[in-house]
Amino acid sequence: MARGLVVAVALGASGGLLAGCQGDPDIDITSYVAQSDPPDVLYNQGLANLKAGKFTEAGRKFEAVDKEHPYSEYARKAILMSTFVKYRQGDYQEAINSGNRYLNLYPGDDDAAYAEYLVGLSYYRQIPDITRDQTASRRTVEAMNELVNRYPDSQYVEDAKAKIRFARDQLAGKEMQVGRYYLERKEYLAAVNRFRNVVETYANTRHVEEALARLVECYYGLGLMSEAQTAAAVLGHNFPDSQWYKDSYSLLKSKGLEPRENKGSWLSRAGSAILGGSEKT
C-alpha cells in the first residue's frame, strides 16, 4: 500500500484523536500513523524466522505482506508461505482455507500444484481410524485427485497418488465396518449395499476380497443362491488361494451348491473391474 494511502486511512480512522493532538506541541502526530516495511523486507524476515524455526513469527510476517501489500508479487508468495506455516503448525483448517484462497487467486500459477498439495496434506493429516467419520479421507481423495488431474507433471503427483490409495482404503474400511454391523444383525439388504459399494467403488483396495465373501453370506442369508454362487465365483476367480474363498466355498457346499457365475449379475461385471485394478473415486 502506498504511504500516502496509509496516511490517509490512518488519519480518517483517528481523526478526532489527531485533531485533539494538533494543538499540543509535545505530541508528534506522525507517531500515530501506521508505518509499513516494504514487502520484500517483510517477506525475507518471514523466511528468516521460518529458517530459525520461529513459525508463529514467520506467519505474522507473511500475513503482514498479504495485508499491507496485497497487490505485490510478494503478497502472492506470502499467501503460499502462510499456507505452509499453518500446515506445519497443525492448524489444518486454516491451511486449507489459505491454500484454497491461493488457488482461487492464482489457479494457473507455477506454485498452484504445491498449494493444492498442501490442501490435500492438511486433509490427510486429519484422517482418523475407520471407526470414526471419514470426511477427511473423502476430502483427501478430492484434493489429491485435483492435483493429479490438473498438474500431472508436478513433482507431488506420486505422493498424491499414495495418499489417495490410503484414503480410499480408509473409505472402503469404513464401508466394511458398517456392512459387518448390519450383517451381524441379519439386516442383509443394508449389508449388501455396503459391501456392493466396496466392490464397485473401491475395487483396488485390500477390502474387496472380504467384501465378496460377505456378499456370499448376505445372499445366502436372503436365499438368493444364484447371487451367492456368483459372488463366490468372482471371489475364486480373483483370489483363488484366499481363505475367504475357501470359507465361501464351504458355505455353498453345505447346501449342495458350488460357485457358478451368472453373467447377467452386477457381480460378474464387477469382477472385470477388480481384475483391471479400477481406481474410481
pLDDT in tens, 137-187: 999 999 999 999 999 999 999 999 999 999 999 999 999 999 999 999 999
pLDDT score of 96: 98
What Å distances lie between residue 166 and 78, 128, 161, 170, 234, CA to CA?
31, 12, 9, 6, 25
Q: How far is CA 224 from the centre of its chain?
A: 39
The grid coordinates listed for 21 are 493532538
pLDDT band at 97 (very low <50, low <70, confident <90, very high): very high
Q: What mean pLDDT do residues 224-240 have?
A: 96
pLDDT score of 268: 87
pLDDT over threshold 50, residue 253? yes
pLDDT score of 275: 57
Which H or E run includes 187? none
Please tell me the distance from the alpha carbon of residue 55 to that of residue 275, in angstroms, as a whole number.
48
pLDDT band at 274 (very low <50, low <70, confident <90, very high): confident
pLDDT over threshold 80, residue 18? no
pLDDT band at 270 (very low <50, low <70, confident <90, very high): confident
Q: What mean pLDDT do residues 63-86 have?
A: 96
| Phi, psi dihedral angles at 91 (to 5 degrees) | -90, 70
Q: What mean pLDDT do residues 13-39 have?
A: 50
pLDDT over threshold 70, residue 224? yes
pLDDT over threshold 80, residue 129? yes
pTM, 2 dp: 0.83
The residue behind cell 475357501 is 246
Q: Which residues fall within 8 angstroms of residue 194, CB to CB, at 6 or more apart? A: 175, 176, 178, 179, 182
Q: Which residues fall within 8 angstroms of residue 184, CB to CB, at 6 or more apart? A: none
pLDDT over threshold 70, residue 281? no
| Phi, psi dihedral angles at 151 (to 5 degrees) | -130, 60
Q: Residues of 234-251 as b/e, b for ≥16 C-beta within 10 angstroms?
A: bbbbbbeebebbeebbeb
pLDDT score of 271: 80
